[in-house]
Structures are given as structure tokens and as C-alpha cells.
Structure 1
């Protein structure tokens, strides 16, 4: 497949690029600073952009089978970037007629598991309160997706960890795995790539966790 990855210098974005290349895909990585992308490959094209102009992004998504995004706030001070930058990506994707778009969101944006215990519910409420601005940004991002004409999927992980790829995790379409507290960034990327052709995830949020 021909894929474009936004946010390719982030933890999940780098894994998306690396794993997609390992799987034999052609990858276009859109980054602000190419020097920060420590991934190389014969099938890798690097495009530099600050994501301010959708017209500038159109060549980077033209003719792609899918677009994947790891864009999002890295701190509470960055809240707002996910909605703003995803809107720019959507404008470019829709202008070029690319249908498939997968993005990273977060577990608290979706519904809580029905059978979580008191501790899990308490932790969820606490984290949601501390990172309220970040999650409001992600909800805004998902609202932009819902208004678009793309076949989008929002992948919603819990607390992220830097762990090696395992390929072993749980996913729930339209919900979240019970007692799912952690997942490695590499496995989030693995899930996103695995869901590209999953029709049951179109226009859906997908909870993913160990």
C-alpha cells in the first residue's frame, strides 16, 4: 500500500513509519523537522511541512491508500493542536479524494467499559480532570472527523508506554477493553496498521489496550 503518516517524529508516528516500511509499504512521512525522524528506507519519502496550509499537503496525500496520523498535544500547554492540525489534514485529504484516515485519540474520549471496577473508574475520572483541556481537544478532533466525508477510525489508547512491539492487545470497536490500563506506543501503531482494511471500524472509535 501507499501510506502517508503525519506526526511521524512522535512516539507512535515513528513506529507507524518503521512498521509500515518493514511490512513492505511505501511511506510518505510528513514532519516539521526531518532531522528528528530517525527512520530510513528505500520506500520512504520525507516531506517537510508545518501543517498550516492544506494546499501544501495535497501532494503528500495524493493517490494514497490510507493516511495515518499521530498528531496530538504532547502536554497540556499544547491543547488545541490536534483539532487544528487534523482539520488541515482533512482539508487536504478530502480535496484529493482519499477515503481512509486513521488517527490517535485517547481512551477517556470514548465510553468507559461497563464492567470496570471502582479503582479503574476513579483513575479515569482523575486523569480526565487533570488533562481536561487535552481531552477536549481530542473530542474536537473527533468531531471534525465525524463531520468529514472520510472513512475515519479513531484509535483510543489508555496510558502510553515505551515498550517493544508485542502484537498482543485487545481492541473493542465503539468501546474499550475492561481493565485496560496501559499499552505500548509500538502496539498502538501496530493496531492502526492492522485496522486499515477493517470495514467494521469505519467511522468508529476503537479502544485498544493490553
Structure 2
């Protein structure tokens, strides 16, 4: 069996959005590393965490519920947050603000989003990605998603004086782990060209970031480490 360093032994980690596909992978990776895990998820989704029910503490509630988040993050050394652009009620930005406001002062705050978020405007997007973002923003008329709210959440994170990292994920696929993804500060860099990461490895990067001070106040864009572009250009990553 592969030895997994117990980097989380004696530490508590909160996963906001624990019942989603990415969240459940983060729960598993955090437990494997010895963390005490606290999860936040909607009450109707608690059953999705049944496999871990006897190993984690669950706070049912919407992830932008400030009271729920305040209770969940108390005493946590790190908080991993999935920013989802659901609805038109500031779900992403409300979640980000609650985590920033209530997390412990020195906690590592790791947030997830997609490549569409940019920190400095130097990212170079393909025509296809630009079209997908335009369509997603248009879909606000359905009141199901609000991509602009994810931009507002990112702005809150970038302006905060916390020990944050905003992990920007590529397209995702299922499958066994290929290891920790490669990353770059800017979408458009050759190492990211393949634009594909295993979901479990996105989660692995989120958990690993909690222990990596080199990622404090960075917005790494990630890509699977065994993709063609990563294998060809990994030496120039980050």
C-alpha cells in the first residue's frame, strides 16, 4: 500500500461543500492524511456522506448560511471551500464572505473555482472557453446559476488579508489519481494546454495547498500531471 504522509495529524480541517463530487474527494484525502474533518453541506445532501458519517462532523445547512459556517470553521487550521454559482442570491460570494469573516485568523483558506476567474487579467483564454463563459453568464436568466457572483466571490478573496489560495480548475474527468496536478499562474501557459484534470486530483491539490505556504495568496490554474502538455512542459510550470 502507498504510504500517505500524515500531514494533518493533530489538525482540524473544514470542508465547505463536503457532499459534492469534489467535496467527497477532499473528505477522503483529508482523512487519509490524518485530519479531523468537519463538513458543511445542505441538509438534503447529508446522506451523500454516509460512507464517512462515523469519521467526520457534519454541519447541515446552506454553505452561505453565516451561522452554520461560523460554527463549522471554529478551531479549524484550514478551510477548503467549493465556490458554486447556484441561484441568484449571492451564493458564492456569501459563502466566501462567511468563511473569510469567521475562520480563525491564521487559518489557511483554500477556495475552488474554474479557469474563468482571473486575478491580474494576464490569462489568455481560448475562443471555446470564452464562448462557454459567455453562455454561462447568459444563463442567469434561468435563475439557476449566476457566474458573475463567482467573480464577486473571487474579488472578496483577492482583497482579503487572510492566508488564502484560489485554486482554478481545468475541465474535469473521473478516474484514478495521476498524482498532484501541475500549475501555472496564468491560463494560456503551455503546461496547461491539455486542460484536463482528474477530479480526485483537483481535490488532492486543494488538500495539499493547506500545507503549502508557497501557495499563500496565489491563484494557481491546474492541469493533470500526466496530460500531454504537462509532460511536455512541466519543467516550466509555476
Counterpart of 1:73 (choices 85, 88, 95) is 85
Write the deviation string for residues 94-135 of structure 1: whole angstroms up to 9, x where unpaired.
xx4343100111112125666xxxxx7221221121123654
Partner-residue secondary structure (3-state), 1:144: helix
Residue of structure 1 in register with 2:155 after alignment = 143
Change (3 A) 1:187 1:36: same
Shift of 1:154: 0.4
Shift of 1:22: 1.6
Write the deviation string for residues 117-161 of structure 1: whole angstroms up to 9, x where unpaired.
xxx722122112112365422221111112323111000012222
TM-score (norm 2): 0.75
Residue of structure 2 in register with 1:169 after alignment = 181
Partner-residue secondary structure (3-state), 1:67: strand
Does residue 102 of the first structure (1) align with residue 121 of the second (2)? Answer: no
Does residue 22 of the first structure (1) align with residue 27 of the second (2)? Answer: no
Deviating beyond 6 angstroms after TM superposition, the runs of 4 or more aligned structure 1 residues are none
Change (3 A) 1:156 1:16: same
TM-score (norm 1): 0.84
Partner-residue secondary structure (3-state), 1:138: helix
Tell me whether 142-151 or 5-14 shows the greater mean CA deviation.
Answer: 142-151
Supply the distance in 2 between the matched residues of 1:155 and 1:39 (Cα, whole angstroms).
26
CA RMSD in angstroms comes to 2.3
Does residue 208 of the first structure (1) align with residue 218 of the second (2)? Answer: no
Shift of 1:36: 2.5
Write the deviation string for residues 75-101 of structure 1: whole angstroms up to 9, x where unpaired.
xx56842112222222221xx434310
Residue of structure 1 in register with 2:171 after alignment = 159
- Count of aligned pairs: 200
Write the deviation string for residues 55-88 of structure 1: whole angstroms up to 9, x where unpaired.
44323212211000123136xx568421122222
Structure number with greater Rg is: 2
Write the deviation string for residues 169-193 of structure 1: whole angstroms up to 9, x where unpaired.
3111x22343132212211100111
Structure 2: tracts of 5 or more residues without a match? 1-10, 141-145, 225-238
The answer to whether the Cα contact below 8 Å between 1:17 and 1:39 also exists between their aligned partners in 2 is no
